Structure 1
Amino acid sequence: MAAFPLDIARIYLEPAVEEHARGREILARFSQAERIPVASHWRIPELRGGDPGDYLAAKRKALVLGVKKGLTFRPNGRSADFIAPSSSNGCAMACAYCYVARRKGHANPISVFVNIEPILAATARHATRQGPKTVPNQVDPQSWVYDLGENGDLSVDAAISDNVRDLVSLFRSLPNAKGSFATKWVNPDLVGYDPQGRTRIRMSLMPPGLAKLLDVRTSPVAERIAAIPDLHRAGYEVHLNFSPVVLHEGWEAEWGALFEMLDDLLPAAVKDQLAAEIIMLTHNRDLHEINLAWHPKAEDLLWRPDIQEQKVSESGGVNLRYRTGWKGRWLQRFKDLLAARMPYCRVRYAF
């Protein structure tokens, strides 16, 4: 198994963290770490001013503890019906294409929110207000689905605190709702959480050669695939997240080999409930500049102005995505390839 991606040496913590039981639990778990008080988990100049050439240091060595302020729910309609208030943000891993806003600094290490009780209570109230799901949609035919890890990876978070265990436990008690999160990390502890079919794990996959270059500090693809049957037997609904699809010469052969690997290794019980998301690469100009300082080889694949076009996001960021017209054709070729190799795998969402 891949080495655990954290070796916490410094914990930045807001003043109220130690007032919460979860905060005290985490501090005790990492008792050897230096504690650095901060006014806000968003504003930590020491992290923001980090050396871009040592991009990974903050992700490996730093942990931020804060108190979640806003408890809003956003409609989604793609991977989930709603985006739930997050129990964390940031990530210990360093995928070269990651879209998560780097608001704490160039590397955005994990921030864990210690006030899990109001997050759980707000989620339960929101699900209760929805009532039964009477109209099936691409997200799920029967349950309202809540994305729990929009800005991080909950499999790693589960090694820091019991927040993820608490979330899985909550959805066992909500007959009309499911939790959902995507992951690139294999955490064997998750099989003991007893989800009873009420939490969906979306295992993120790409061809192993690409992942070795782009999915920095994640579990190898073979380990992720091997974990899928275990997670399903443990009671999770397991879907696949083919993301991002990075186009380059030879991409069809690489993805075809991955589909064959999945078809050979997944048991019938997994195949019977399998669905997938397909997300074509969108890259970011600012992230491109950061990557050039620490991982320029990744940019040979991610920054392709010859087949990409610029689009300004709602927040004003400059993104590159595959050119209109061509993107649709390439996406259809991907879906056709998947259908030929894994006809039982329903495409739930593609973009």
Structure 2
Amino acid sequence: MLDVRTIYHEPTVPDSSRGAQVLTRWPDAERVVVDSHQAIPGLHGNAGAVKDWVRTKQTVLVLGEKKSLSARPNGRSADFIGPSTSNGCAMACSYCYVPRRKGFANPITVFTNIERILGYLERHARRQGPKPAPTQCDPVDWVYDLGENGDCSVDALVSDNVRDLVDLFGRLDGAKASFATKFVNRDLLAWEPRGGTRVRFSLMPEAMAKVHDLRTSRISERIAAIDDFVEAGYEVHLNLSPVILHEDWLAEWTELLDQVADGTSARSRAQLAAEIIFLTHNAGLHEVNLGWHPKAEEQLWRPDLQEGKRSHSGQDNVRYRAAWKGRWVQQLVDLVGERLPECRVRYAF
């Protein structure tokens, strides 16, 4: 997954315990001091880097400090989107939205001021007090999404940031961590989440995953890990996304849901819940993908099925046409109820 050969880092990183930990992990890597993790000449915004898309993810690491901390209200995946301890990813999913903002290279950036982030999260969670009423996010706990811009299971290969977060929410009353993942990191099974962390395994039909989920764990491996994570004290949900439409899509999803039903225990299925998210794409990402993975765009870029949509962040995206999408969403929701009836659908769009 990682063969780090170059580490870009802000000047103060080696002075922090977490920064020193990561630098020690790859002692032979070239170190390049940069003023900011957000603007690295030759890495960010370099159109020529598209040809090295995957190699960059494998060999480059960025270290910096998270300057601005906030917990944004959400209401879908979680009650709040917590301040991230990283962004970027070593995996190479064709539909990932993060490169839309970061340009032509998207390696992992790890934030080393973890103590400040942990302190902020603990204070924020304690200020909320008891949750006044159940929500679709959780009936009891305030849920904090910690992996909006990366994959925490992969981040745990780089530093102890994720373990620190799991430990924090394992002892916080009334609050729960949550992150989606496409990577089975069995090191997490030795931790003590105490029910305070929700792992959302992202799933899509195997044929689609082979094209679009590059450098990730196989779908069968993710399904096989569900029981083990439940037994280890995690809450496990499913992230059924992105749903990519094509002529045989519903048959493929039927097969996938049957694989989950047959491959998990009654205990695991009883606590399952799912999010369903249909593909949203972007013209800029379409152009980037044509430079490194054009095969993916044959399935992602479907003007015959898609229409323009202005996102909440002001981006011009494309989604499946609203006049048809509602019917397709309901078909998949009904299919979950038929093939995996124990799994409630928390939301679908």
Is TM-score (shorter-chain normalized) higher than 0.5?
yes
CA distance in 1, matches of 2:168, 2:273: 24
Determine the structure 1 residue equivalent to 2:35: 39
CA distance in 2, matches of 1:288, 1:121: 39
Determine the structure 2 residue equivalent to 1:292: 290
CA distance in 1, matches of 2:330, 2:122: 39
Deviation by residue 1:288-330 (Cα, 9 ceiling, x = unmatched) = 0011111111001100000100123344432110001211000
Q: Structure 1 segments of 4 or more deviating over 2 A?
A: 101-105, 312-318
CA distance in 2, matches of 1:133, 1:57: 45
Query: Does the 8 A contact of 1:43 with 1:104 survive in 2?
Result: no
The amino acid across from 1:319 in the alignment is N
Q: 1:249 is paired with a residue of what secondary structure? A: coil
The amino acid across from 1:147 in the alignment is D
CA distance in 1, matches of 2:342, 2:118: 35
Shift of 1:253: 0.6
Structure 2 residue 117 is the aligned partner of structure 1 residue 119 = yes
Unaligned 5+ segments in structure 2 are none
Determine the structure 1 residue equivalent to 2:24: 28
Determine the structure 1 residue equivalent to 2:82: 84
Determine the structure 2 residue equivalent to 1:73: 71
Query: Does the 8 A contact of 2:65 with 2:113 survive in 1?
Result: yes
Query: Does the 8 A contact of 2:151 with 2:179 survive in 1?
Result: yes
Determine the structure 2 residue equivalent to 1:160: 158
Q: Name the CA shift for 1:40/1:288 in 2 (closer, same or farther; >3 Å).
A: same
CA distance in 2, matches of 1:317, 1:77: 20
Map 1:301-340 → 2, pairs under 5 A: 301-340=299-338
CA distance in 2, matches of 1:134, 1:39: 44
CA distance in 2, matches of 1:94, 1:15: 29
Query: Does the 8 A contact of 1:42 with 1:103 survive in 2?
Result: no
Query: Does the 8 A contact of 2:99 with 2:105 survive in 1?
Result: no
CA distance in 2, matches of 1:110, 1:144: 28
Determine the structure 1 residue equivalent to 2:186: 188
Query: Does the 8 A contact of 1:83 with 1:147 survive in 2?
Result: yes
Shift of 1:332: 0.3
Structure 2 residue 269 is the aligned partner of structure 1 residue 271 = yes
Shift of 1:107: 2.5
The amino acid across from 2:201 in the alignment is M
Shift of 1:105: 3.4
Determine the structure 2 residue equivalent to 1:137: 135
Structure 2 residue 78 is the aligned partner of structure 1 residue 97 = no
CA distance in 1, matches of 2:71, 2:99: 18
Map 1:256-267 → 2, pairs under 5 A: 256-267=254-265
Query: Does the 8 A contact of 1:168 with 1:199 survive in 2?
Result: yes
Query: Does the 8 A contact of 1:96 with 1:215 survive in 2?
Result: yes
Alignment RMSD = 1.0
Determine the structure 1 residue equivalent to 2:220: 222
Query: Does the 8 A contact of 2:13 with 2:19 survive in 1?
Result: yes
When the two structures are superposed, what TM-score results if normalisation uses the length of structure 2? 0.98
CA distance in 1, matches of 2:313, 2:229: 37
Structure 2 residue 11 is the aligned partner of structure 1 residue 15 = yes
CA distance in 1, matches of 2:293, 2:230: 35
Between stretches 54-63 and 209-218, larger displacement belongs to 54-63
The amino acid across from 2:278 in the alignment is M
CA distance in 2, matches of 1:348, 1:73: 21
Map 1:38-57 → 2, pairs under 5 A: 38-48=34-44, 49=46, 50-57=48-55
The amino acid across from 1:18 in the alignment is P
Determine the structure 1 residue equivalent to 2:205: 207
Between stretches 66-75 and 104-113, larger displacement belongs to 104-113
CA distance in 2, matches of 1:6, 1:79: 28
The amino acid across from 1:10 in the alignment is T
CA distance in 2, matches of 1:23, 1:232: 32
Query: Does the 8 A contact of 1:44 with 1:104 survive in 2?
Result: no
Deviation by residue 1:133-153 (Cα, 9 ceiling, x = unmatched) = 120000000000000000000
CA distance in 2, matches of 1:275, 1:256: 17
Deviation by residue 1:236-266 (Cα, 9 ceiling, x = unmatched) = 0000000100000100110000011111011
